[in-house]
Structure 1
């Protein structure tokens, strides 16, 4: 068992000890090929929740500052995370993410860029749209429906893939692509709240 799988097991045990985790739509995640998995962001527990229950590993962008902490800088890459400098265009992080998608991996994104303070879906940043348009990856919207309260249900809902082929042909911009993704996430939240 590798570190990623061990981390998944630890996360599953922790999460199921405190919450009733309900997974909906797992069949919407392709078994292979690049996937851009876009989710709302309501808690620090969202990345472990997303990664704990999927068979395939997820790669996340994590803020550069985390990689400067002694224990985390060695551990985070083994858990699928790679650094991004927030507040600026980080070309290396963009290249790394595109390469993961080309290699048929899953890229986990929180398009809002930060946790929601009130639990409502905020405006998405153009990064999610950029990856959806620049890669041939399958784009899956995901909604985490909480709140995280002890022994209450936390739902993780994977939506159907968004067909981005047409949007690529129409040459829409990254911002518009992100809006489409955010709209699909909002539909999932509304449907499962």
Structure 2
């Protein structure tokens, strides 16, 4: 058992007693092939929550500052996370993300780039659209519906893969594609709130 699966079991054991997790739609998750998993971002616990509920191993793109935190900075690369410089075009992170998808793995992103203070869905950044357009990966929307409050129900909803064919064919912009992905996440929130 690798560190990722050990960490997944450990985190599950820590979070399960605190949050009444309801996981919906894991059957929508493609069993193989590249998957771009895009989720809303309401709390620092979102990455581990998605990590323990998704049916496949996720490679997360995480803000560069986290890799400078003692201990955490050493653990992150061992659980498939890699750094991204926020607020600028980070070519190395973009290359790494595309490689993850082309190798048939799951790339996890929070397109808003930062936590929503209000809990409402924010505007997504163009990176999600870039990955969706530059790869043949499935694009799976995910909604985390909180709040993260002890002994309160917390939902993690995986939607059906978005049909990217027409969008890729008409060569939509990365911004427009991200907006479409965010709209799908918004629909999941509305339906399951």
Q: Is TM > 0.5 for Structure 1 vs Structure 2?
A: yes
Aligned counterparts of 1:148 and 1:106: Cα–Cα separation in 2:
25
Contact 1:41 1:144 in 2 (8 A): yes
Unaligned runs of at least 5 residues, structure 2: none
- Secondary structure of the corresponding residue to residue 133 of structure 1: helix
Moved over 4 A (4+): none
Equivalent residue runs for 1:152-191 within 5 Å: 152-191=152-191
Contact 2:39 2:144 in 1 (8 A): yes
Aligned counterparts of 1:133 and 1:66: Cα–Cα separation in 2:
28
Equivalent residue runs for 1:69-148 within 5 Å: 69-148=69-148
1:188, CA displacement in angstroms? 0.3
Asked if 1:57 is matched to 2:57, the reply is yes
Compare 170-179 and 64-73 and name the one that shifted more: 64-73
Per-residue deviation, residues 78-106 of structure 1 (Å, max 9, x unmatched)? 11100111121110000000000000010
Aligned counterparts of 1:147 and 1:140: Cα–Cα separation in 2:
22
User: Paired residue for 1:17?
Assistant: 17
- Secondary structure of the corresponding residue to residue 154 of structure 2: strand
Contact 1:116 1:122 in 2 (8 A): yes
Aligned counterparts of 2:182 and 2:54: Cα–Cα separation in 1:
22
1:147, CA displacement in angstroms? 0.6
- Secondary structure of the corresponding residue to residue 66 of structure 2: helix
- Secondary structure of the corresponding residue to residue 21 of structure 2: strand
Aligned counterparts of 1:108 and 1:176: Cα–Cα separation in 2:
19
- Secondary structure of the corresponding residue to residue 18 of structure 1: coil
Contact 2:29 2:55 in 1 (8 A): no
Contact 2:53 2:156 in 1 (8 A): no
Asked if 1:7 is matched to 2:2, the reply is no
Compare 2-11 and 52-61 and name the one that shifted more: 52-61
Asked if 1:33 is matched to 2:18, the reply is no
- Secondary structure of the corresponding residue to residue 17 of structure 1: coil
Aligned counterparts of 2:64 and 2:112: Cα–Cα separation in 1:
17
Aligned counterparts of 1:164 and 1:5: Cα–Cα separation in 2:
31
Aligned counterparts of 1:73 and 1:111: Cα–Cα separation in 2:
22
Unaligned runs of at least 5 residues, structure 1: none
